[in-house]
Structures are given as C-alpha cells and as structure tokens.
Amino acid sequence: MLIQRLGILHLSEDSCRLLAQRVYCAGFAMLLILSEVFSSNIQSTLPTLSTLFRVGLTGCGVLLLLAKCVFLTRYETKAQWVLLAAVIGYTGFAALYGDDHWFLLAALVGLGAKDVDLRQAVKVFLAVTAAGLVLVQLLHYTTPLVPFKYYCRNWDYGYGHYNGYGARLIGVFFAWAWLRWPRLRWYDWAGLTALLLYTMFVPICRGAGGAMILLLLLFALQKLLPRFFESRIYHGLLLAVYPLLTVFSVLAGYFFDPMVPDQTPILKKIDRLFSGRFEIWHNVFWETPLSLLGGVPTDGDEHHSIDNMYLALPMNKGLLGAILVAAVFLILLWRLCRGHHTGELLCMTALLAYLLMENKVFLVATNPFLMLLPCVFFTAKDRALPVLCPVVQHSPEPVAAASDR
C-alpha cells in the first residue's frame, strides 16, 4: 500500500486493511445516501440545503474512494496503476462531456472494491439503501418535504418518476439476493417475494419487477438443474445476451414506427408489453446521430430519456464508451463463467434483462454488482476472483466397485 511506502501512517498490514475497509464503506455509504435521499424530490422544497448536502456527499465520497484507491490498495503490477489512472481519467472526462456524474462515481465504487471484504461491503449497501428508502417514504407520506411531482400515470413515490423508485427497490432486491445465495431460507424467499409483489403492484414498475421475477425463477431452476447452470450451454447463452439485446434494441428502433405500428404487428405487441418504450427507441434512433464521444443527455426530459442501457450508452458515451462498457461486461461474464461462479452469473443475467428496460447501470443504489469490477481490472489469471458467492460443489459420481465390473 502506498500509505505504508510513504510512511504517512505507521500501521501494521492488518490495521491498514481495516482502515481501507472503513474508508471504502464510508465513501460508498455517502454516495448511497446521495442517491437514495438527496436525489429525491426534497431538492424542490429544500434547494439550498439539498445542494449543500449533494456537494458535500459527492465531494467527501469521491475523496474517500480516491484515497482508498490510491493510498490504501495494494497493486501487484505497474500495469494496474496504469489501468487505475486510465479508468478514472476516461470516466471523469465522459462524465463531464455527457453530463453524467454517476459514471465517474460508479467507476470509483468499482475500483475501490479491490481487496475489501465484499460481504461486509454488500451488508453496508443493503443497510444504507433500505434505510434511505424507508426514510424517503416516511417523509413523502407524512411531511411536505418530499412532495409528489406529477410526471405520468403513476405516483412518483418522492423520486420524480415511479421507475426511479423501482430502481432503488431493485438495488435492495439484488443486494439481498446476492448476499444470501445459495443459503436462501424460507424467510429470504418470503421477503424477496414480498418485495417483488410490492414492486409489481404498488409502483407498478414492470422493468424492476420483471427482473426480480427472472432472478427468483433462475434461483429455483438452479436448484432443480444445477449442472445446466455450470454448463457451456448456459455460459455461451449468457455471453451472447449483451450483443443480442443490443441488436434487438437497434432493430426495434429501426423497424417499429409509432405512426404506423400495424406495419409490424409482432413489434406492436412487444411494445405494449414494454409500456410503449419502442416509440422512445424509434425517436432516439432516427433523430439522434451517433458520434464517437456521444454527449446526448439520456436521463432527463421525457423526450430525451432512454429507458434502455443498450441504446443510452452510444447516445451518452458515444461509440467509444459503448464499446468500452460492453467489453467490461463481457470480460466480467467470461471470467465468472470460467470460474463457475454461478451465483454471480444468475444475478448478472437478471441485471442484463433489467437494463433492457431501464438506464440505471451507473446509479450506485441500483447496481451493487459494480463491486465486481476488480474481477475485470485487477485479477491475475492464476488467482481466484474476488466474488461473494461460493462455488457450488457437486458430489462426485459413485465409482463402481471392482467386483461390480
């Protein structure tokens, strides 16, 4: 660790690791509070106070995560230092150019996760996000501090849009499922199912609810067919999901015309299932030219908001950013497949499906799997991946006795 080399603090190796864990979790928690509480409608009733908290939480969170990355992380090679600088430099530029500060914050959360106790970090994520959601809902229903803002057909639950609420709910769902797999007990199934039903029937978030259904279904199927989910068939299908969903999104935007939807009856039916998202995809495809660096806002006004990560990335981050993010996803999935990390693969399958319906991949309160980024950037080929879920061990096939042959 650089802090030991520079002699800034004379601490033992164990003390440095404990300090690194606390610094990381503190910085991460600040960004989660920023996302859960001060990205809500409280900004309209307490603008000055909210601005102060947003600046303070963002600044302190960034400083703590940078300190963790630079001073409290042990890098094995100079190439890892170069990767650290390159990722921070690019995400910082792209965040400024595309007006998406969460891109940089997500990168810092992922890079800072190197060498931390992942289970403890996920517990912090789950506790802070759940507490933030409860606080916002209490303020929303009992005080005028988090007002309702009419946006579309549903109540916005204090976040300006019901899907913004769903994005926070699925973050809690993902963290809970990831933390407990494969030791899910009846109360885990009951709690996750209750959260799923709440998401589907209260805010009516189809994207988040559908991903929750998919993940629970995958968990159940994995219990019934464990060897299939460790087979090359499943791994190959999963590696194909990202490019296939990208192609599907582009073709849907190209062929579906909201002015004459009957020309494509199949896409018309799918569009109804997707709550009319094809119209947005169509407008984005035909009205926004592609560029190398992007810069088009993708998460603001209704006509510019793109509820699909696979289309939003090339618009906001450009072709360069879309290719880089896709490469990170595919490398992560490939390494998880190679290591037979079934729990993470099941969760990533649900995440990829959710991102077809929403553009929240860099919102730290939605995507706890950002903490898997060290698997992409800092893990040597001969070392185990820093993951949370254990590798499932199957009992070997019984060997026939010599007398039975």
Question: Cα separation of 377 and 76, whole Å?
Answer: 12
The number of beta carbons lying within 10 Å of the beta carbon of residue 118 is 19
Q: Please give the pLDDT value at position 290.
A: 87
Q: Please give the pLDDT value at position 300.
A: 56
CA 202 vs. chain centroid, Å, equals 23
Question: Cα separation of 50 and 56, whole Å?
Answer: 10
Residue with tokens 């928690």: 29
Residue-wise DSSP of 165-229? HHHHHHHHHHHHHHHHTT---HHHHHHHHHHHHHHHHSS--HHHHHHHHHHHHHHHHHHH-TTGG
Does residue 286 carry a pLDDT above 90? no
Does residue 398 carry a pLDDT above 50? no
Confidence of residue 400 (pLDDT cuts 50, 70, 90): very low
Does residue 302 carry a pLDDT above 50? no
Confidence of residue 152 (pLDDT cuts 50, 70, 90): low
What confidence tens digit (pLDDT) does each residue in 230-280 have? 999 999 999 999 999 999 999 998 899 888 999 999 999 998 888 888 888
Name the nearest CA neighbour of 358 among 310, 324, 314, 290.
Answer: 310
Confidence of residue 339 (pLDDT cuts 50, 70, 90): very high
Q: Please give the pLDDT value at position 404.
A: 39
What confidence tens digit (pLDDT) does each residue in 57-105 have? 999 999 999 999 999 999 999 999 999 999 999 999 999 999 999 999 9
Question: Cα separation of 174 and 253, whole Å?
Answer: 29
295: left (phi over 0), alpha (psi -120 to 50) or beta: left
List the single range of 136-145, 156-165, 364-373, 387-396 with lowest mean pLDDT: 387-396
160-167: average pLDDT: 92
335-351: average pLDDT: 97
DSSP 300: S
Are the C-beta atoms of residues 174 and 190 closer than 8 Å to each other? no
Taking every pair of Cα atoms in the chain, the longest distance, rounded to a whole number of angstroms, is 83
What confidence tens digit (pLDDT) does each residue in 33-51 have? 999 999 999 999 999 999 9
Give whole-number Cα distances, 89 to 69, 81, 157, 221, 228, in Å.
13, 12, 36, 42, 41
Q: Please give the pLDDT value at position 303.
A: 42
Task: Say what percent of the chain tops pLDDT 90.
Answer: 78
Better-scored residue on pLDDT, 351 or 4: 351
Give whole-number Cα distances, 49 to 38, 44, 251, 305, 384, in Å.
10, 10, 45, 27, 45
| Mean of pLDDT over the chain | 91
Better-scored residue on pLDDT, 236 or 303: 236
Does residue 125 carry a pLDDT above 80? yes
Cis upstream peptide for 374 (omega within 30°): no
Q: Please give the pLDDT value at position 287.
A: 78
Does residue 208 carry a pLDDT above 60? yes
